[in-house]
Amino acid sequence: MNNTYVFLRHALTTIDKELPAEKLVISDKGIEDICSVVSSGKFDDVDVIISSSEKKAIQTAFYLSERIEKEINLNPNLKELDRGQEIIETQEDYETRVWRIFDNPTECSFGWESAEGALGRFKRGISRIENTYSHKKIFIVSHGIVLTLFFGDLLGLKNEELFPRWKKLQFCAWGTIIEGKVDRDIV
């Protein structure tokens, strides 16, 4: 990898039990949080902003885009692990499903995309970015599960180490990768 990457998990969302997770939008608290992150000036020097194609990621990227006057490029390969259109009733049920995904990375549990499949798709998205840009600082907004998988892969973590990391991962958390190595962990 010849680019420097800043990966940011999208801002806090508004939970709507009528919508699948991929259709959620960021909350007022999420807006406050992302405005605080970008107003720090830490990311004013990025060359490119790339977001997953999910609305909550695009909304999160918008605040940096406005600040530094750069357009948002969309990359659908950076979206969250596909969880279908299922609406999950409780946080406990959701966490059980996420644990199962990390614990059995080759299985498509609950009709969800496998962790292995999501990580492969995400890495293809990064590869496409690497082939498009050279020696740039690239800001990417994505999602909790795929970012946990990606950073876990780069750090050489075992499957059983991923779920606890995902539980610790905060909204608007960010990490950096320089020359293909984790420079700042996202957790």
pLDDT at residue 22, as a whole number:
79
Instruction: Identify the CA nearest to 151 among candidates 182, 125, 180.
Output: 182
Whole-model pTM above 0.85? yes
Inter-residue contact 14 to 25 (CB < 8 Å): yes
Instruction: Give percent above pLDDT 90 in the chain.
Output: 85
Domains of the chain: 4-184 (3.40.50.1240)
* pLDDT, tens digit, 9 for 90 and up, residues 78-87: 999 998 877 7
User: Which pLDDT does position 17 carry in this prediction?
Assistant: 74
- pLDDT tens, position by position, 119-132: 999 999 999 999 99
What is residue 87's predicted lDDT score, i.e. its pLDDT? 72
Q: Return mean pLDDT, the chain.
A: 95
Q: Which amino acid is at 38?
A: V
pLDDT score of 98: 95
Per-residue pLDDT band for 148 (boundaries 50, 70, 90) equals: very high
> Does residue 20 sit in helix, strand or coil?
coil
- In angstroms, rounded to a whole number, what is the distance separating the alpha carbons of residues 56 and 53? 9
Residue 111 backbone zone (phi > 0: left; psi -120 to 50: alpha; other: beta): left
